[in-house]
């Protein structure tokens, strides 16, 4: 249930970024004097959510957030009052990848600390089964 909620939050947050990125400049929320910080933090949050939502799926989370940043920066060139710039794209990609890395580190830390609390071994121990058959020693 929690994973489904994180997946939903990840896609909702990306949808919000799509709206804010492609809407007229007057509808863009302003949180700081420097929009670079806003881009970095917004994409870091999306990166964290996608990193947690698609944890253990290789390059899926970074692919989604970096692909979205590239597509949205390109689509900004088609709007009359917005412009896509390489510097903005690099800020967005940096924030997205930072967020995914934070999510990966956090999930690994949480798994490790939960194992420490429950005294569960990190990996199951390998059990050797003794064999009286002389052919077992050959393999």
pLDDT digits (tens, 9 = 90+) for 104-118: 998 888 776 666 666
Q: Distance between CA atoms of 41 and 47, rounded to whole angstroms?
A: 10
Q: Are the C-beta atoms of 47 and 102 separated by less than 8 Å? A: yes
Q: Are the C-beta atoms of 107 and 52 separated by less than 8 Å? A: yes
CA 8 to chain centroid: 13
pTM above 0.95, yes or no: no
Give the pLDDT band of residue 28 (cuts 50, 70, 90). Answer: confident
Q: Distance between CA atoms of 131 and 40, rounded to whole angstroms?
A: 60
Q: Are the C-beta atoms of 99 and 43 separated by less than 8 Å? A: yes
CA 101 to chain centroid: 7
Give tens-digit pLDDT for 48-69: 999 999 988 878 999 999 999 9
The residues spanned by each domain of the chain are 2-118
* pLDDT for the residue 81: 79
Gyration radius of the chain over CA positions: 22
């Amino acid at each position: 249930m929690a994973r489904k909620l994180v997946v939903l939050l990840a896609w909702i947050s990306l949808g919000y970024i799509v709206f804010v990125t492609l809407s007229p400049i007057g509808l863009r929320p302003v949180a700081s004097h420097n929009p670079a910080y806003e881009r970095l933090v917004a994409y870091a949050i999306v990166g964290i959510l996608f990193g947690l939502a698609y944890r253990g799926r290789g390059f899926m989370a970074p692919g989604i957030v970096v692909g979205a940043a590239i597509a949205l920066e390109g689509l900004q060139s088609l709007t009359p009052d917005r412009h896509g710039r390489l510097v903005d794209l690099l800020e967005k990609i940096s924030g997205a990848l930072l967020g995914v890395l934070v999510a990966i580190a956090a999930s690994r830390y949480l798994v490790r600390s939960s194992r420490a609390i429950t005294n569960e071994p990190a990996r199951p121990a390998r059990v050797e089964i003794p064999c009286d058959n002389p052919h077992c020693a050959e393999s």
